[in-house]
A = this chain, B = another copy of it.
Amino acid sequence: METTTERRPTDRRKQVLEAASRSFAAFGYKATTMDQVAKTAGVGKGTIYTFFANKEELFEQIVKDLIAELKAVAERTLDPALPFADNLLNILQRVLAYRDRHGLVVKLSQEVKEFGTPMANGGLESVERSIIAYIAGHVSAAIEKGELRASDPSLTAYMMLKMYLALTAEGGHLHTPLDGERVLASFRFYCLEGLAVR
């Protein structure tokens, strides 16, 4: 694997990635054609196959880049001075908002609902798993710092994401959608404080 960005007269790999990124976000997985990507990138189709074994690998690289973006948003949001709960809420809010505004995610979600494209579904799951893994890391740290009760960090992170998404009504229209303030308050209530009387 080539290490860093060598200065080539024309960095074809980057051109391909750029064109593919735009195309996947605009048309989804299956409606993106390799011919189209090649033409948009100003590159012969064969060239794409010198960098990526096939369409799937190209797509996976695009998803990886998106995950890196999300991680960057999270890191930018993180404030070590704040308690865990505040950071968690801020990160969930910012990262999920960014995700839901990102063309690729929006398009892939639509594609999964409409056609059930397995590759699109896999991409979204990959993003979700990464978010859970990221949160799990911080849950781990919070437990060690005594900011959270002991638990399986991975399961806890999964539950946190599920609860947050349930509140933001992505799942079903089974309750009246809450505004941002109520989402935060409810999440604190249900996830952190618990329903038992104390």
* Residues of A in contact with B (beta carbons under 8 Å apart): 85, 125, 128-129, 132, 146-149, 151, 154-156, 158-159, 162-163, 166-167, 171-172, 174-175, 186, 189-198
Contacts and interface: CB of A to CB of B under 8 A. Distances in A.
Nearest to A158: B175
Contact of A193 (B125, B128, B196): B196
21 contacts: A85-B196, A125-B174, A128-B174, A129-B174, A146-B197, A147-B197, A148-B197, A149-B193, A149-B198, A155-B175, A158-B175, A159-B167, A162-B163, A162-B166, A162-B171, A163-B166, A192-B195, A193-B194, A193-B196, A194-B194, A194-B195
A166 B158 contact: yes
A85 B154 CA distance: 25
Contacts of A151: 189, 195
Contacts of A129: 174
Contact of A196 (B132, B159, B174, B192): B192
Contacts of A125: 172, 174
A74 to B, nearest CB: 18
A198 B156 CA distance: 18
B190 A174 contact: no
Given A158-B166, A191-B194, A198-B198, 7 more contacts: A149-B197, A149-B198, A155-B186, A162-B163, A163-B166, A194-B194, A194-B196
A85 B196 CA distance: 9
A158 B174 contact: yes
A192 B194 contact: yes
Contact of A149 (B132, B149, B154, B196): B196
Nearest to A192: B196
Contacts of A195: 148-149, 151, 156, 191-192, 194
